[in-house]
Amino acid sequence: MIEPEHVLAPTAPKYRGAQFLTSAAKLSQCPPDVGWEVAFAGRSNAGKSSAINSLTDNKKLAKTSKTPGRTQLINFFELSDSQRLVDLPGYGFAKVPIAVKREWTKQLENYLQNRQCLRGLILLMDIRHPLQPFDHQMLNWALQASMPVHILLTKADKLSRGAAGTVVLQVRDALKPFGELTSVQLFSALKHDGHKALTAVLDAWMTQMQEGDAG
């Protein structure tokens, strides 16, 4: 029996065709919970927008939703009818009231743990300042939902090759308790280094079938 077309695993996405889809302040405002999504998260200074723009070869893509008043929204970029990249706002807002931070933390956790079409999390860390407290919180949220996390050590061009390699080993060692759900790579948006490794992870996540997809 031929499965319905909407449950067939799609082909690898074309990242250069990414287009802004919509923004959401909470889970109930997100697009329909179907298909394949991968979310990008990181501290405000981790280079998240630069990484997304470098990946999609569009310098303005991740800035589409960065107008004043929209910085705390979940932003969706469409790759195909069933595949999306999701830009989570940079955490660690220095000048945001505590009540706002708490509400966003609540919505972020709700998205990560309850969004059924979310297939993985790309967690970006400045290679010079990896594994900050909120990075650990993001890891714990994702892994509580048994969601794979791929870490981009961004701004790798700021360190020598040897020093960068040492950080990779240190981060991998720190993540051993999480087992096979985590992976790590170097990335430089400035040098456009790391695209091949990143797209390999994204392609795998956004073309795989999971239990329940056909039902």
Say what the pTM is.
0.89
For residue 210, tell me if it sits in a domain. Answer: no
The encoded tokens of residue 6 equal 């909407």
For residue 57, tell me if it sits in a domain. Answer: yes
For residue 214, tell me if it sits in a domain. Answer: no
Q: What is the mean pLDDT of residues 37-55?
A: 91
Q: Domain count of the chain?
A: 1
Say which residue, 147 or 3, is predicted with more confidence. 147
Query: What percentage of the chain has pLDDT greater than the value 70?
Result: 87
pLDDT of residue 119: 96
For residue 123, tell me if it sits in a domain. Answer: yes
For residue 212, tell me if it sits in a domain. Answer: no
Backbone angles phi, psi at 55, to 5 degrees: -60, -40
Give tens-digit pLDDT for 87-97: 988 776 556 67
For residue 93, tell me if it sits in a domain. Answer: yes
Say which residue, 1 or 81, is predicted with more confidence. 81
Q: What is the mean pLDDT of residues 9-19?
A: 89
Domain that holds residue 55: 5-205
pLDDT band per the 50, 70, 90 thresholds, residue 84: very high
CATH number of the CATH domain containing 130: 3.40.50.300
For residue 145, tell me if it sits in a domain. Answer: yes
Q: What is the mean pLDDT of residues 16-28?
A: 92
**Contact call for residues 119 and 208 (beta carbons, < 8 A):** yes
**pLDDT over 50 (residue 66):** no
For residue 213, tell me if it sits in a domain. Answer: no
DSSP 50-113: HHHHHHHT-TTTTTTT-STT-TTSEEEEESSSSEEEEEPPPB--TTS-HHHHHHHHHHHHHHHH
